Structure 1
């Protein structure tokens, strides 16, 4: 996080003293009006014969000026809290703005789907990236910046997105999938791609990021608006109270001075939370940006704190996303080394993660993979196809190895004149069923041996099964337990069959799962949860996730995903780490708890200020009120000034807490409320008693007080 110069923050705070900005915060606007009125009184007092008595007590000549100064400081400190929060966003925005340089775009004059992205630029016009419009098609070669947000319509390339995400490792972007979206300002490192622009000038992803982190387009959330209304209502109530106190004192012929009444009003209205409310909201979005998550609105951050149901994709979120070989299950009468060798040979030329994991497992089983590689290079590779559902290797001696779906492999053996016997078929079905029930995927390995030189026939047989499984990420079960402690129900969403989904859900520790999920089923599930009064969060990256992302209360789209997904969600994870949704929920809850804790503190510390000012105001009218001066404050003037000073200083002391947030611990609502009342409620009562008393010890040293 970048540090913000104090001078810049103070300049912003002073600029916010403009009443046209100040009135947006009703509580602090009342303080602003009180400061202006007290300043006018201080200027007028010499011409009116000096300060009047208050409640029968002589007021020092410097009292009104002292109150005016500290009232202005109270407003300034409140503005400073907001300016510091905004300043952090502006510093991040400046870093982003550096990526939004105007680049040269090679716009294709007449693009058709047959355009070859590897061809030289023929039929292109060089234009500024600022001149690109929605729907334009551009070609971007290695070493060039992508001129605007778009989707790759042809080609595949390695892209450096460090300017946006901060991650130095390049990523692969390609057409026709869920990783086709590219961001303007990122750099192509290899190959050439054709990109269709999906944003208008000034409305790119980076432009929106800049506006959001600067706070320029930040709207108050519903809870923030409701709290603002509550604070404004309390302020109005205390304005009425303050206006009625002077007529009461006048009956005793000892009216209270207007300066003291203004001081009372400022101390009784909830100035602490009123000063910090905006900073808390800005800081919540800022914490998300620090986690490389961009919230499209403060409402989304707030909703994350109230989430009760969390939907997570299985692949890439709960599991690593690629199936891995975990076990070789041999058939009766087959030697272990024969199965492992055949599986390794058929996988040496298989570049898929599954093929690589089979080779790695074979190496762990003691197979000399390097020696087998020499045999594989002399054979003919049989690639996997959707039609055959198999892959394999034909060796020079005539032996043939196949691995794939059980039904496809057994059918192949039958076609080769070596049908599987009923006994072996039953054994194979038992093995594949056992793997499937454990949540894995069975991959059957079979071989047609080299032809017998004497008989000229080939013998075929099933060697065994490779157990492929989705590996659950380490530590997820503990994180799901934390979410359960927060009162959040976790649901795994997967396209797998119910049997496989149940096994993985059990291993991961989620509360429920949705198997064989289609886009319509995801949408229907979210709606059912919402109709039951739950707030739902979901993560996704594909176009098929867009309806569910739009329906969810918190929809986190992956930056690697399609434009449709990013438009539908109300948050974008720049790192494309689906598990970060858990951190989003934690930050949202931290925002709500911080706001609640500081509101509790603000209202509680008014109690202590009441005991400081009320006795000071009316001891001259009603001497019996002296028993309420439990802090033993020196004089009415020192009591009032000490309370005003504490009221201003406490804002500054709480700014770091507002920006950092109250530490969140997973717990139910009642225990969280109890902790807040104990720490911030009781602390809000005790701290002002101590603070005002200490300040009074200093104020009493000032002549006249």
Structure 2
């Protein structure tokens, strides 16, 4: 049985959704808070919290104030202790909520992992050679958990693929919805760039022979589960650098507060240890310190929501800093299926004559190009003629570079002789191939005929199309050239706008194609691409990436074949298609489950959103701390130095209420910003200077103003507490 691939896409198709493949969950819900609370409490363990130096200092402060409240009980002491613990809890809650969202997605993936029975080929490895019908060798049923790398299994219609592997024999339609979330079946076959299969998917028709490439427990789904659960997340270089900065600021403020007491004693304004701890907590950058880990986890989570698995956080960050984007033309910028759009006959040939000949040669052509020629001619001329039963098909081969059909023309018989059949031969293919075929029949084109044919071919190429030349031979007469059919690579809707957005991000786009330079430039101009690498080989891609990197640029590219593996490994962001080969997926640092190369643009946007979110909340945190100085410092020294009254611009009720209000605001602002850290700051394509200006105006100014309003409102309530 064979598969009719006409209605089965090579990759899952979907309407482009803003933001990606799966709808993003709400930033924060009560259910998420309830499920994340136990994890947040577990993270209060100092052995866990020490990895966040800022929050570790806050926890130590909470312990100290709790001890002081027990030794010298008082309303103020207990309120300070409670809110310092709340500050630490809100910080761990932010990280726990981010992780719980990943665990929820992981549970869905884990449901696809079930113990199955695999039909393992029971034969020595040296017998599994090319040319051997592997599906006819004896098989033995084994649990899928016992499969090892290199084992060969047979999977038939209705059976579950027992593990990750490559199809080495056969072709089948496979349901990958358990992994990708997309219901459309896909084709997987041996010998190409669509050979990889994932454990847990289901074969819908026919059967394939699969060589296992990952042992049980280390499959693609296993790695994805570990990643989205956060168990394998490592801090990225930028995150580590920011942690070092926050640690340095914490040490500086710790020294500042420690040396403040001697000066206070000297000036007669000795401060309680409780107040000094509160001051330290409000001075250090607790807001960004509390949210930093959640921002990183949420960035990875946003990729998973779009069915992209990042092998490391470094790749996500690198995506945000990408300077050059390499995109394949076919299937990425164009739809990939060239369509016939026009017929260009030569002199003395009518358009209808050329169109009908091209149609006859395409009736048995099941390629998208062949079907589009039939649709074009039927739609234009209303023809409906079918091939006669005795028509002889001439299939396309890489050697001849043409295809066609031989039709019975006339029959004549002589008395006592056998019937002789003359044939009407029609060929369509590359211009050079059709010319050679015509010359082999005794045809020689004149200068004028050659110039006219070349003019048609050049015109089609300049417009970004592919010229397909059609010729015919009647009987034993010399063949003649009928004209050219224009096949056009249709550029996907909205591509120009997307490349305009990339330019606004200062990202240069490069279209990579095997087409000739003329055709490639035409497609690039229509799509709005910045640069072109035409007639590209794998070596050309690799050389281009290295040149860009030597110039200090970060490069991203997408690929699916083994020949893409070197370039994927060399690029800073290498996105391998899930439909591609195992070599491609191992070489890249991201895998797109939907196998949609255009998603590379979204990946860049997610990376930039991660960096912008981190920068915005860092700006807010620093500006936020400045306002708290005006609440606490006047309150500490105003009784001794009345001149500091001028700094009490919030007119807070009392020194005690001022300090407590600042501590409470410091805790509540973390809770308020958790949804933003999970959702991410909205990213709009703009230049670096515009983004910096917006960052300072919105989050810098906002971080400066918000505490004045928040602390004042809290003070109005706190001042009503008796005994404060």
TM-score (norm 2): 0.92
Q: Which residue does the alignment assign to 2:351?
A: 336
SS at match of 2:105: helix
Q: Which residue of 1 aligns with 2:441?
A: 416
Q: Secondary structure at the match of 1:447?
A: strand
Q: CA RMSD in A?
A: 1.4
Q: Structure 2 residue aligned with 1:388, among 369, 394, 400?
A: 400
CA contact (8 A) 2:511 2:531 kept: yes
C-alpha distance in 2, partners of 1:434/1:93?
Answer: 54
Structure 2: gaps of 5 or more residues:
1-23, 410-422
Secondary structure, counterpart of 2:398 in structure 1? coil
1:304-703 matches, within 5 Å, as 304-368=319-383, 370=384, 372-373=385-386, 375-397=387-409, 398-449=423-474, 458=477, 460-703=479-722
Identify the range of structure 1 (575-584 vs 2-11) with the bigger mean alpha-carbon deviation: 2-11
Q: What is the aligned counterpart of 2:162 among 147, 151, 173?
A: 147
1:154-193 superposed Cα distances (whole Å, 9 cap, x missing partner): 1111111101100000100000110011111111111111
Q: Which residue of 185, 189, 195 maps to 1:170?
A: 185
Partners of 1:348 and 1:376 within 8 A in 2 = no
> What is the CA–CA distance in structure 1 between the aligned matches of 2:561 and 2:478, rounded to whole Å?
47
Q: In 1, Cα distance between the equivalents of 2:479 and 2:317?
A: 63
Alignment of 1:294 onto 2:313: no
Secondary structure of the structure 2 residue equivalent to 1:320: coil
Q: Could you say which residue in structure 2 is the equivalent of 1:56?
A: none
2:145 is matched with 130
SS, match of residue 564 in structure 1? helix
Equivalent in the alignment of 1:76:
89
What is the rounded CA distance, in whole Å, between the counterparts of 1:407 and 1:5 in structure 2? 65
Q: Deviations over 1:457-479 (max 9, x none)?
A: 64642211101122211110110
What is aligned with 2:133? 116
Q: Secondary structure at the match of 1:319?
A: coil
Q: Would you say the 8 A contact 2:441–2:478 is kept in 1?
A: no
**d(CA) in 1 for partners of 2:524 and 2:533?**
10
Per the TM alignment, residue 619 of structure 1 is displaced from its structure 2 partner at its CA by 1.1
CA deviation vs aligned residue, 1:73-132 (integer Å, no higher than 9, x gap)? 00000011000000000001111111111111111121513442554xx52121111111
User: Any gaps of 5 or more consecutive residues in structure 1?
Assistant: 47-60, 452-456
CA apart distance, 1:387:
2.9
Aligned partner of 1:266 in structure 2 is 281
Q: Is the 8 A contact 1:117 1:155 kept in 2?
A: no
TM-superposed CA distance for 1:486, in Å, is 0.4
Q: Report the CA distance between 1:141 and its aligned residue.
A: 0.9
For 2:113, what is the secondary structure of its paired residue? coil
Asked whether the equivalents of residues 290 and 670 of structure 2 are also in contact (C-alpha less than 8 Å), the reply is: yes
The number of equivalent residue pairs is 680
1:5-55 CA-partner distances (Å, limit 9, x unpaired): 422211111111111111110000000000001000000115xxxxxxxxx
User: Does the 8 A contact of 2:121 with 2:134 survive in 1?
Assistant: no
Separation in 2 of the partners of 1:342 and 1:654?
68
Post-superposition offset of 1:377: 4.2
Q: Distance in 1 between matches of 2:560 and 2:316?
A: 19
Partner of 2:80: 67
- Check if 1:253 corresponds to 2:250: no
Alpha carbons 1:390, 1:404 under 8 Å: kept: yes
Alpha-carbon deviation of 1:594?
A: 0.4
Partner deviation per Cα, 1:615-645 (whole Å, 9 max, x = no partner)? 1111122121111110000000000000000
Deviation at 1:499, TM superposition (A): 1.9
Residue equivalent to 1:240: 255
Q: Is the 8 A contact 2:269 2:637 kept in 1?
A: no
Q: Measure, in 2, the Cα distance between the counterparts of 1:386 and 1:177.
A: 16
1:199 maps to 2:214: yes
1:74 & 1:697 partners in 2: Cα distance? 21
Paired with 1:327 and 1:224, the residues of 2 have a C-alpha distance of 56
Of 13, 19, 37, 2:46 maps to 19
